[in-house]
Amino acid sequence: MAKRIYKVGFKKLGELLIHPLLHNAPNLAFLNVLLAPVIWLYKKFTAWRKANEYYLDKTPQLVHIEAVLNDRWDVGLRRIVVENYKGLASPVIYLEPENKTAPVIYTEAEGEPAPFIYTGEELKAITPDFIIKVPSFIVFDQDEMIALVYNYCLPDKAFIIQII
């Protein structure tokens, strides 16, 4: 019921507001000319309202971001996927009383690359929160996609666009 609150038939309203004796072709044509800018503004308003309702219906949840991206670039098949990022695995270093096997860490002289050991804050800073997987045959503008995702996701979230 609330969706019909802005439904106005301007042509019918104009015809009802003029006297029935004036209902002839020239007067109705003149009335339509007078109502044309109002009808144009009404159509612009309803389009703006529909766009804002769509924007307000979406939340920063990944399923909503996926829906927005698929609505924009892949309406029919909806092949764009948004997934949580699994994250980097930092090697865990245990204390001796825990009786766990510690990872092997080599010296530079042994020629093996040393694993990086990150704190939780460092891992969060260098890893994205989610990945957007786009099939290679979908044509899209990457800058537009980034702007669209930032429009819907929370400001502190990071993401990667991966073409698969």
> Torsions phi, psi of 70, nearest 5?
-70, -35
CA distances from 160 to 24, 81, 94, 163 (A): 64, 12, 32, 10
What was the pLDDT predicted at 143? 92
Confidence of residue 91 (pLDDT cuts 50, 70, 90): low
In the chain, the percentage of residues whose pLDDT exceeds 70 is 86
What was the pLDDT predicted at 43? 92
Query: Which residue, 74, 85, 75, 76, is CA-closest to 132?
Result: 85
Give the integer Cα–Cα distance in Å for 62 and 52. Answer: 20
On whether the pTM is more than 0.75, the answer is no
Give the integer Cα–Cα distance in Å for 118 and 131. Answer: 21
Q: What share of the chain is helix, strand, coil (3-state, %, to 5)?
A: 50, 10, 40
- Residue 62 pLDDT greater than 70, yes or no: yes
- Residue 1 pLDDT greater than 50, yes or no: no
Range 141-153 average pLDDT: 91
Q: Lowest-confidence range among 57-71, 78-92, 106-120?
A: 106-120
